């Protein structure tokens, strides 16, 4: 199994002072960067092949990996990181299509390791994570199910959409080899048609709605996590999420 970590963006909504901006994956919580947490937890569940999709200040990310004593994993650069994440995913098309199950993960998430365990459980699955306890509004990417089947994945839902479960998508996806290849084709179509500025969730949505590959969902409601986009998310991550994370022993290992 291979993990692709999307960490190319500038993170403008964090409102970092000009000249002091750095990739969000290098945000530290209890002295440990988000990137290092990702790598440690992926190792813990047996995922040892990692591809980093970088764009903004990749040298800072490489320096952090060196500082942490880590071998620098495979890196793919998106020089137009100012565009949408569809283009970033397109830069890692080779990693999507070289075989085996693939995890596609946003880098700016602080999360409990049980969420990752739910994502990788079993063999050869297409899987999404859903959290039914979420704040209403336009920011969360909503995942809607009808009789267990994903029928929508968007921030804004059509009026009258018929579903029997709704939650927030965590932003981690698992694809089988065949589904990953089809996803890469859809992403390429976005780029070729001038839609590279869109979020990659739109391409995931297309894959879901064409029903060519069955997806299951893992319900992670109640587990602590947060996607970090705004300054108040950093505060919430520190005060609310970090103290709830499972396995203090792992957290101590992360700090060493």
- Residue 82: its pLDDT value, please? 87
Q: Which domains does the chain have, with CATH numbers?
A: 2-230+237-255 (3.90.550.10)
- Residue 34: its pLDDT value, please? 95
- Residue 17: its pLDDT value, please? 64
- Residue 253: its pLDDT value, please? 47
Q: Which residues, at least 6 apart from 6, have a Cβ–Cβ distance to it below 8 Å?
A: 53, 85, 88, 89, 104, 105, 106, 107, 200
- Residue 71: its pLDDT value, please? 84
- Residue 246: its pLDDT value, please? 61
DSSP 12: G
- Residue 248: its pLDDT value, please? 44
- Residue 9: its pLDDT value, please? 83
What is the distance between the terminal CA atoms of the chain, rounded to a whole angstrom?
26
Give CA–CA dist 42/117, Å, rounded. Answer: 9
Helix (H) or strand (E) segment spanning residue 67: helix 58-67
Q: What is the DSSP string of 17-47?
A: PTT----GGG-EETTEEHHHHHHHHHHHTT-
- Residue 251: its pLDDT value, please? 46
Give CA–CA dist 97/4, Å, rounded. Answer: 12
- The position carrying tokens 């108040």 is 232
Q: What string of pLDDT tens digits covers the 256 residues of the chain? A: 999 999 998 766 675 666 678 899 999 999 999 999 999 999 999 998 999 999 999 999 999 999 888 888 899 999 998 888 999 999 999 999 999 999 999 999 999 999 999 999 999 999 999 999 998 888 899 999 999 999 999 999 999 999 999 999 999 999 999 999 999 999 999 999 999 999 999 999 999 999 999 999 999 999 999 999 899 999 999 999 999 996 544 444 444 4
């Amino acid at each position: 199994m291979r993990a692709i970590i999307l960490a190319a963006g500038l993170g403008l909504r964090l409102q970092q002072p000009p000249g002091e901006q750095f990739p969000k994956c290098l945000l530290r919580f209890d002295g440990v960067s988000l990137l290092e947490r990702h790598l440690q937890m992926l190792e813990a569940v047996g995922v040892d092949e990692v591809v980093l999709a970088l764009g903004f200040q990749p040298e800072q990310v490489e320096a952090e990996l060196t500082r942490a004593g880590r071998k620098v994993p495979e890196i793919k650069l998106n020089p137009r990181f100012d565009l949408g994440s569809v283009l970033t995913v397109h830069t890692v098309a080779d990693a999507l299509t070289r075989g085996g199950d693939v995890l596609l993960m946003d880098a700016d998430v602080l999360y409990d390791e049980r969420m990752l365990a739910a994502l990788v459980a079993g063999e050869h699955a297409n899987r999404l994570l859903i959290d039914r306890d979420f704040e209403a509004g336009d920011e969360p990417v909503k995942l809607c199910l009808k009789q267990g089947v994903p029928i929508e994945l968007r921030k804004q839902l059509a009026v009258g959409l018929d579903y029997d479960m709704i939650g927030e998508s965590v932003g981690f996806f698992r694809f089988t080899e065949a589904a990953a290849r089809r996803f890469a084709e859809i992403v390429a179509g976005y780029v070729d048609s001038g839609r590279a500025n869109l979020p990659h969730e739109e391409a995931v949505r297309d894959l879901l709605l064409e029903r060519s590959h069955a997806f299951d969902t893992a319900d992670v409601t109640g587990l602590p996590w947060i996607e970090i986009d705004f300054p108040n998310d950093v505060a919430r991550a520190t005060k609310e999420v970090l103290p709830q994370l499972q396995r203090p022993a792992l957290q101590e290992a992360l700090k060493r």
